[in-house]
A and B are shown apart, each in its own frame.
Chain A
Amino acid sequence: MKKKTPSSRRSADDRGFRLGTGFFALLVVLLVAGIFWELYRTSQLSLEKFGFKFWTGKVWDPVSGEFGALPFIWGTLYSSVLAMLISTPIAIGIAVYLSELSPRRLRTPLAFLTELLAAVPSIVYGLWGVFVLVPIVRQLQVVTPSWLKKVPLFSGPPLGVGMLSAALILAVMVIPFTSSVAREVLRAVPATQREAAYALGATRWEAIQAALRYGRTGIIGAIILGFGRAVGETMAVTMVIGNNPQVTASLYAPQYTMAAVIANEFTEAADDLYLSALIEIGLVLFVITVIINACSRLLIWSVTREVKFKPPKPVSTVAVPAAKGA
């Protein structure tokens, strides 16, 4: 047995611990790198054959081997943007209410309830969408006055399934993500911001505005985070959007999204090119969501971190010594 001083053995042990646990932490990073590499590798066929044309082509015809992904990009972006337009004001409203306005006693249960929205599995939203929401939307389409139907936004037969149903259900699913992060951001805004506003005679809303302005980068991060969720959401959208690859502005028209086409056609992809084209859509979905999530994290951290490391001095400790000196 080699002679070792206890302290050197200890530091060797500690290094082993650091490297050992560090290896598992490294696995998390390797996982993300591995996903990218695997998707890139298996989509080679389609990447080489179509190049950039893949993203501008409007025709998706697996039988003749023609793959254009524009309708899916369109459907994903359109549904996500619509969902954000609906959900963002509500989510910010929830965050403001829960962090600034609600009675203390209501705060925790209400926060729990809104976050429960995120816990409901996507497939359950889909089931509810198919059997409850879609018939309601169809009814709405039936009673749409004919002059309104001439507007491209509301044109098309009353099918129920389509962009409007998808956007509505996405909005519900995204609200809890945006609102809980926005709440976290607002909680990180120092109380002095609001106190200062009140001291200057601000109303409640004006004080809230001050807090929102202070945390605006984080709030934007929260919105982007919700957008990332909407872009990647699969099952519920697949079940209510109608799955018809077309580029149209109509809210009533059945459309298709990137995630939905993968979910629907992956097991049917008979030849290698078809499969590779679907994986390329997955690759782009991955890259987009990684970028979106990276941006939103950085924005959110810039607010919540800053405060954690540099707690602003409470007003009283600054004011009291000055008063004593005077």
Chain B
Amino acid sequence: MRVKEKIIEIVMMCCSFVTVLTTIGIIVVLLVDTVRFFSEVSIVDFLTDTQWTPLFSDKHFGILPLLSGTLLTTSIAILVAVPLGLIIAVYLNEYASAKFTGLVKPVLEILAAIPTVVYGFFALQFVTPLLQNIIPGLQGFNALSPGLVMGIMILPYITSLSEDALRAVPGSIREGSYGIGATKFQTAFRVMIPAASSGIIVSIILAISRALGETMIVAIAAGQEPKLTFNPKESVETITTYIVQVSMGDVPQDSLEYRTIFAAGLTLFVFTFILNNISFWMRKKFQNKYE
């Protein structure tokens, strides 16, 4: 009996260890080919060259154009999702009736369940043509439309996590604010939001990380032209799109071109890894604030 119990426990432990192996696998896989990549391309060129043309005959390996494309689409998404998400979270938590909130929340969660290829289709086939009527000079592939749609996609992350943070603030704090004569608006913005700020920041960091790594929306609607630009009307290429573009093409493996996806992937991984760890650390640090 003892032996059987012990064996089961060890098997279960091994199952949990699979996740550790996955992390190690990701890091090793990315590092091995990135190191080989940097044996042929100087790291200074990689970080400072303003052109990314590994698939052309005149090869340049500057990550900046891919990075600017990624940051541009992510910034647009965040500019949409953060104000909209926070207003909705405050409204549902402080103003709306419980019945209205109960009705709206599950519908908003649907936004998070929609596959991203669907959002990509929506950006390319609906939002871009619509915006082209309003904004002259907007290209068929552009950063603006997928950025906006990505903002809608990450909206539920911000509303639901921020709402959780607001709900975790003890009612006594809110009542104290009402008691000294504050209005709902003052209570919401000067008491509740500051009190829930760590949870709200965590929700924003997770949303940024999600937008940086989003692939299908930008692959479909932003184009495949790596350009160092911050003009949302132009087409851009993100790191994720580049990875998909190369793996769908017929680049021979074990070539320098093939290794570019590992260097690009590692760059993306470093960004999301740092953001995820900041949010994890914040959650651990502040989660027992009001208990």
The answer to whether A binds B is no
A residues contacting B by CB (< 8 A) are: none
B residues contacting A by CB (< 8 A) are: none
